[in-house]
Structure 1
Amino acid sequence: MIIIKTKEEIELMRESALIVSKTLGMLATEIKPGVTPNKLDKLAETFIRDNGAIPGFLGLYGCPSTLLTSVNEQVVHGLPTDRPLEDGDIIAVDCGAVLNDFYGDHAYTFEVGEVSEETKKLLQVTKESLYIGIRETKVGNRVEDIGYAIQQYCEKHGYGVVRELCGHGLGRKLHEDPEVPNYGKRGRGKKLVNGITIAIEPMINLGARNIRTLKDGWTIVTADGKPSAHFEHDVAIVDGKPELLSTFAYIYKALGIVSNEENEFRQVPLVL
């Protein structure tokens, strides 16, 4: 059952999402060759708690960490380790936080040092597909319209779209209805209405779409060992249109990146 949120609840969810956004922004300048994912995990837990929130992943479903850190061929759910990041790696950092009894949950794939042009293009296309999916998140559409748009864009570039994992509804629980796949057919799935809050998260592989799970029971990797990218935003439908609750602006500010990609999804300008 889809749980519709009031505008007041959506504003509370925005505060939760922004805690995660600020956490990712703080981590942006820490991600460099020689740093371990375990160090990033400890920094994130401290930052979230210092800002009055609770880590959203830690202990949930038995998760042992605040962050899920997926390096290179790891698609999602990578557990932080003490293996130092190396020049040319990519790392998808997925983070959750609970504030006001609501979850924030989103992710960004960072470059570590100098990354190959092939990998840069994968990250670019995956992030672009996220916004293409967000544009479909509006009253009158259905859930699979989102996935269809993401799938068509990524497959046009020759990438594999993971089928076994998907986005999801978000609220007082981390995972609510509806499931939001990154593939699908137009006009299929549950209707999108005002008050729906979802996490949209393309998981796109440089090679084939096939995946497998490592022996730790968490880390999911590409079957062919090629890199994978993961970007995620929290989105609400307000007055018929998609509105971002999360933002990459803190990351961009930390890294000196200028971007207007989020402007069309904000009714009120974001103040950093």
Structure 2
Amino acid sequence: MNSTYEAPRRLIKTPDEIEKMRVAGRLAAEVLDMIKPHIKAGVSTLELDQICHDYIVNVQNAIPACLGYGAAPGRAAFQHSICTSVNHVVCHGIPSENKKLKNGDILNIDVTVIKDGYHGDTNMMYVVGGETSILANRLCKVAQEALYRGIATVKPGAYVGDIGAVIQKYVESERFSVVREYCGHGIGLTFHDEPQILHYGQKDTGMRLETGMTFTIEPMVNVGVWQTKTLGDKWTVVTKDHKLSAQYEHTLLVTDTGVEILTPRPEEDLSRFGQ
């Protein structure tokens, strides 16, 4: 018997909500495109954060969702508008004036924008200086392809487990590993909602996908082991073996015929998804 369950009705977005999600997603993608020319050797990750913050607040008239998010016992709220994860940092990297980029670094910028109450969440990798090692370059390409293969499984009647199964199979076939402690998530009025989108697992398990659901897929792919550890700041997550990590993310909508990517970027060829 399949281990599956139905989506709560609250997870199904109305046409009006979907349109607001499209706007928020477009704004988030614009931030990743806007920041590209500023990513170069000698620039600090704090400078990138300040540029993104000013753009979201003053140009987009929107709200950076990460700023002030996630306070918990023993952990202060996140104090910046983007996450900047460099090289062996898996996710939740904290922008810092002391972290200056170097040519050959690989950098993930993760941004979530709130517009009219709805969230758009996306991230991508950048290569500082345009050139990096063969291994780092291949890692970034595999992480992006893993995302696309996960997206390609999304359609009404499919299961959350289908996404993780195809991602895990592909990544491991490339002799990399998939982080298991962190996952994609439902999104809308709430930043992190059901369902959890694991990037590993078995087909035909988990919640069944239905038209109108919105969620992220965001596989984190490591060169070495999949295990991670969290630093003393309670936010920064690094690979346990300090080998490189890469990640790509999109916010998605399940449509009647398949999937719509709500956070498309200009340089992406999304023809395989009908976009």
Give TM-score scaled by structure 1 length: 0.93
Q: How does 1:34-49 map to 2 (within 5 A)?
A: 34-49=42-57
Distance 1:111 1:248 in 2: 17
Native 8 Å contact 1:70 1:76 kept in 2? yes
- Amino acid corresponding to residue 172 of structure 1 in structure 2: L
- Deviation (angstroms), 1:264: 3.3
- Amino acid corresponding to residue 111 of structure 2 in structure 1: C
Q: Deviations over 1:131-160 (max 9, x none)?
A: 100011111110010010111000000101
- Amino acid corresponding to residue 176 of structure 2 in structure 1: Y
Of 85, 103, 106 in structure 1, the residue corresponding to residue 119 of structure 2 is 103
Native 8 Å contact 1:92 1:229 kept in 2? yes
Asked whether 1:57 is paired with 2:66, we answer yes
Q: How does 1:23-172 map to 2 (within 5 A)?
A: 23-50=31-58, 51-61=60-70, 62-82=77-97, 83-113=99-129, 114-172=131-189
SS in 2 for 1:32: coil
Distance 1:7 1:135 in 2: 23
Unaligned runs of 5+ in 2: 1-7, 71-76
Native 8 Å contact 1:193 1:240 kept in 2? no
Q: Deviations over 1:189-244 (max 9, x none)?
A: 00001011001001000111010001110000001111100100010011131111
- Deviation (angstroms), 1:93: 0.3
- Deviation (angstroms), 1:13: 0.4
Which aligned runs of 4 or more in structure 1 are off by greater than 6 angstroms?
none
- Amino acid corresponding to residue 252 of structure 2 in structure 1: V
Identity across aligned pairs (percent)? 38
Asked whether 1:17 is paired with 2:22, we answer no
Which residue pairs with 1:218 in the alignment?
A: 235
Give TM-score scaled by structure 2 length: 0.92
Which residue pairs with 1:270 in the alignment?
A: none
RMSD: 1.1
Q: Deviations over 1:23-53 (max 9, x none)?
A: 1101111111111100000000100012111
* Bigger Cα displacement from structure 2, 1-10 vs 66-75: 1-10
SS in 2 for 1:81: coil
Which residue pairs with 2:200 in the alignment?
A: 183
The aligned length equals 258
- Amino acid corresponding to residue 7 of structure 1 in structure 2: P
